[in-house]
Structure 1
Amino acid sequence: MTYRNDQKELMDFDNRYSRCARQRRLREIIQFLLKKSKELQISLQDLIDNKITQNKPYQQQGSFAFLFYVKKGVTDKVEEMLGVNPLYVHDFDEKNMTALHTATKKQSYIMIKILLSYGANVLSKDLNGESALSHAIQSNQQDIVKLFLSIQCPNDLEYLNYSKMAKNKQIKWLLKNAKLQELRIRCSKLTQFNISNNLL
């Protein structure tokens, strides 16, 4: 009789364990998607529909031509292609460089503005682990750094790396001001949260 009870208990344990494992895996997937959607600054639904995540270089048809036009600085063709398919802005080449990386390396301010208007991801990294902002800092492109920081490019994770890499004093000053402004915004949100909790 005890054998049956033990067997039933083991089956219950197996069911509970597999349910807990599925729930844990689901939580991990949800956390990954939320982090990715925040990083890419896109809606969670677009990410779930797999509209933006690319796995291979030149994955979409027309990606090669799009990145070629960005490299050559042909703004009218780039705008025309983005008008047809705005998701080209997220494509990358074999070095994992997006169109924004390429435009930053070419120092094409107008091209960068076009790409940002179509939602280019400022935080995407190439094979060397560098973002478009870090490329702009390394090559002392003050106007482009100012543009990236004006759209409130999140830089808190790598602020120290960015400030170490900046050799230009004006760029260091821009980075410091952006960090201070971000801290002010965080503090004001925290203060508002505390005030609203105290009222309740």
Structure 2
Amino acid sequence: MTSLPEDPQAPIGEDDRGAAVERLQQAYAEGHISHEEMDGGLHQVLTAGTRGALVSALASLPAQNAGTTSTIAVAAGRIQRRGVWRVPRFLKVESAFGRVHLDLSRAVIEHPVIDIELQLGTGRAVITVPRDAIVDVEELSTGWKDSRYKPRRRSRPSGPTIRISGTMGFGRLKIRHARR
């Protein structure tokens, strides 16, 4: 499910609806649900107007490939993920020289815990997390500059936990919460 506002009565956008349709189709293609279950789920998703209705339409689906690790690597250049994209349970980001920008604020986050391993040489990294996310940077080792992260004061523990680990050489990591 995408990282939407905490309120179950919050309206949903077309990007969220499209991600939910894709998730149902994938579950059907993998044989996890029957044709009738997919039809019923599609009807629920296409008529849903709130986050709560969308969550309920996807509640019975099995978890997706919870054990796989995805790697994004570049020697020099930019790594950027933003908008609606599916965040894997384990994400490894490798960059020798360059900038990294991961925006999870509108991403499809289907796991309660996301592990992001950073292996960065030089350059700067910015990670934007959902407004209600809990961030853990205890396992991140920095060589030159400390990471910049201020936990939200009034954060409710209702969102995903984002654990960031790995090593950073000469660069800085900035973590910020989305505004909405």
The structure whose Rg is larger is 1
Of structures 1 and 2, the one with the larger relative CO (CA 8 A, separation 6+) is 2
- TM-score band by shorter chain is 0.3 to 0.5
Q: Structure 2 length normalisation: TM-score?
A: 0.33
